[in-house]
Amino acid sequence: MKTIKLSFIRFWLLLPAVSMPLLMQAQKLSFRQADSLLVMHSHDLRSARLDVVAAEGQLAQSRRYDNPTVSMMYNVRNPNNRRWFDAGRDGELDVQVSQSFAIGGQHAEQVRQNDALLQASKSQLRVTGRDLLTQAHTTLVDLYYQQRQAEVYDLEIASAEKILAAYKEQSAKGNIAEMETQRIATMLYQLRKSRADLLIGAEGLQSQLRLLLGLNNTMPVTADIDEAVALDEASRLYLSLQGDQQMAFDTLPELRLLNSQADAARHALKWQRSQALPQLAVQGEYDKNGSIGHNFYAVGLSIAVPLWNSNRGNIRSAQAAVEQAAIAVDRQRLALTQQRQADLATVGQYLRQLGQSSTLDADLSTMLQAAEQQFMNRHISLVEFVDLYANYRDTMLARLDAKSQALQAAERLKGVWGGGLEARE
């Protein structure tokens, strides 16, 4: 029994040590997994879908006509027989019914405007999904290369720690000057500080991804990207878009959104003009004991004549909105053209730069190992050693940054010109 109790206690004491690595285990996230999480959990995407539902409701409501107005009056005290609330033949009851009706597009233009706004909300949903997708991919690329840059520092730190340990041992024996040991120690401190800054930036990117994808946890995220495949896809996308100078703007959801908004603005202008027309209503009346006679029935027409208010101010405002919508379409076309050209230039420049130095990564790794060995054997000076380390680090970080910039630009191009979220759903 004591053995069982001791084993049970040992199990509970060891449980935190076993479970802690599991809790801190990083979650690997690929592009495909990010897409799935975005579709299922993104708050912005869910809100955009509800905007479509609201626009559908607004369109359905605009198709309804105004309800009729019914008014009824009952004589409180009959002045002829002095009866209160006389329900007999001589009692007075007056019932009036009024039903307004639209002319000149007063109803139809509102329906057309809301239909255009519904199409705009659907295009906005596509834009939102595509932009969120692009943002998730570019953030994932940025995270991947920040983590890769931290690995560069890891290699240097491991090498510097080994050298520092050896130098401290030799310095204690008086074989090496204390100044050289301190120089290695300060270099190691600077490397650790730079690595910590990178990891802090990577943590910010992880938080951004968790918020973007609706991940309700604080588990560390590790970007899972096949670099060779991604760079190959970026190269093929660049060649495809570079050779295709005819940009299909009309198929882009941004332009569909703005065109629908412009269409809605034109219908809003027509509706404002229709409000300058008379407001009409059909009327009917029943008077039980009116001045004309018993059981009086009448029909009529009510007209609100626009003498003092012809709605000119609202018409002028709607006309300005139409012109602004046309300006927004032209501006968006220009912005898309310029962004496409800038991203193509970024992808092309960095891919050419990386292609010209395809074996540089392996050469630099070999150089780092050789520099460490030569310095330990005192074949190169401390200044030369520090310079070689700095050269290795700067070059490796520059290459990783070039890959990051190229892939992020390629993701923006793919999002706009290669299909957005709706192509993946």
Which tens digit of pLDDT belongs to each residue from 214-225?
988 888 999 999
Instruction: Give the mean pLDDT of the chain.
Output: 86
Helix, strand or coil, per DSSP, at residue 329: helix
State residue 421's pLDDT score: 44
**In which element (H, E) is residue 185 found?**
helix 178-213
CA dist., res. 13 & res. 21, Å (int): 15
CA dist., res. 204 & res. 155, Å (int): 23
Section 315-327 average pLDDT: 96
pLDDT band at 367 (very low <50, low <70, confident <90, very high): confident
What contacts 391, CB < 8 A, 6 or more positions away? none
State residue 166's pLDDT score: 84
Which tokens go with 112?
A: 């057309």
CA dist., res. 170 & res. 173, Å (int): 5
How many CB atoms within 10 Å of residue 311?
15
Residue 7 has pLDDT above 70, yes or no: no
pLDDT tens for each residue of 268-293: 999 999 999 999 999 999 988 877 77
- In 3D, which of 268, 307, 267, 276 has the Cα closest to residue 103? 276
Residue 370 has pLDDT above 80, yes or no: no
- In 3D, which of 186, 188, 163, 171 has the Cα closest to residue 380? 163
State residue 8's pLDDT score: 35
pLDDT tens for each residue of 10-49: 433 443 443 334 334 678 999 999 999 999 999 999 999 9
pLDDT band at 145 (very low <50, low <70, confident <90, very high): very high
State residue 10's pLDDT score: 43
Contact 296, 290 (CB under 8 A): yes
- Indicate left, alpha or beta for 120 from its phi (over 0: left) and psi (-120 to 50: alpha): alpha
State residue 422's pLDDT score: 44
Contact 329, 258 (CB under 8 A): yes
Contact 392, 360 (CB under 8 A): no
State residue 167's pLDDT score: 79
Section 74-84 average pLDDT: 84
State residue 394's pLDDT score: 87
State residue 366's pLDDT score: 77
Q: Is 93 exposed, middle or buried (0-12, 13-18, 19+ CB in 10 A)?
A: middle
Contact 304, 278 (CB under 8 A): yes
Section 231-259 average pLDDT: 88
Section 294-309 average pLDDT: 89
Q: Is 61 exposed, middle or buried (0-12, 13-18, 19+ CB in 10 A)?
A: exposed
Section 124-128 average pLDDT: 95
Pseudo-torsion of CA 390, 396, 398, 404, nearest 10°? -150
Residue 319 has pLDDT above 80, yes or no: yes
- What number of residues does the chain have? 425
pLDDT tens for each residue of 148-161: 999 989 988 888 88
pLDDT band at 361 (very low <50, low <70, confident <90, very high): low
Give how far Cα 271 sits from Cα of 176, 282, 307, Å. 90, 21, 19
State residue 86's pLDDT score: 82
- In 3D, which of 397, 395, 404, 390 has the Cα closest to residue 363? 395
Give how far Cα 364 sits from Cα of 67, 73, 148, 189, 379, Å. 80, 97, 15, 22, 19
User: 248-262, 331-345, 367-381: lowest mean pLDDT where?
Assistant: 367-381
Residue 112 has pLDDT above 60, yes or no: yes
Section 296-311 average pLDDT: 90
CA dist., res. 69 & res. 312, Å (int): 29
Task: Look at the block and give the residue holding tokens 């001045």.
Answer: 291
Which tokens go with 263?
A: 């269409």
First-to-last alpha carbon distance for the chain, in angstroms, is 59
Give how far Cα 421 sits from Cα of 36, 96, 128, Å. 10, 57, 9
Beta strands in 292-386 (DSSP E): 294-304
Residue 132 has pLDDT above 60, yes or no: yes
State residue 250's pLDDT score: 83
